[in-house]
Amino acid sequence: MMIFWMNEINLMKKLLYLLVMLLILAACNPKVELTSAGMYPNYQVGEIVNLIPVDSLTYGDVIAYHSYIPGFQERAFKRIVGLPGDTVRFQDQQCIVHGKKCEWVFRRKLFYAEDECEEYCESLPNGMKVNICKSVVPIDSATATTTAVVVPAGSYFVAGDYRGGSIDSRSQGCVAADSIIGKGVKRK
């Protein structure tokens, strides 16, 4: 009976050890499941994106961050289009940094969730090219064209790739660096 009891304790220790290791592994390799269409066409609703620790950030990086949008979501996932000190605004859903429009090249017309869209390849200030989706009729005209914002120190201006259907810095303000959870890495 004593041997059986000792084997049971050893088994419990091994299971506890395995559980602790799994929790550590999960904490070291966080993921985010996308719950909105704000990053279409590059990311899809339901897609799981791996996150890596943030060492440095630049134009085009996608980040997960605590957003605290009342009644909506606790985490958001958007693309950096403005760095600290940049002046950013939007005109007809096109990003303008320091008064210079990010160049657009038309790719195709498409429909997404009953929204007529045009897909463009946008060149960010560092030369990174990103496919974005412009709504022919923006869902929120107040975010299609905005006034200029100077990005504060320690913050970033983020925008969704689905410009007509994204809740981002155009309506929610800049993202503080200390609210960033991690940088997104596309799964292969």
The residue type found at 129 is K
Q: In what order do the strands lie in the sheet with 129-135?
A: 104-112, 115-123, 129-135
Q: What is the pTM of this model?
A: 0.81
pLDDT at 30: 81
pLDDT at 12: 61
Backbone angles phi, psi at 116, to 5 degrees: -75, 125
- Token digits for 119? 């897909």
**Which residues in the chain show pLDDT less than 50?**
5, 18, 21-23, 25-26
Q: Could you tell me how many helices (H) and strands (E) the chain has, helices first?
A: 3, 14
User: Residues with Cβ < 8 Å from 7, sequence gap 6 or more?
Assistant: none
* Of 55, 105, 87, 72, the residue nearest 157 (C-alpha): 87
pLDDT at 103: 97
pLDDT at 21: 47
29-65 pLDDT, tens per residue? 688 888 888 999 999 999 999 999 999 999 999 999 9
Rg over alpha carbons for the chain, rounded to the nearest Å, is 21
Cα separation, 85 vs 117, in Å, equals 31
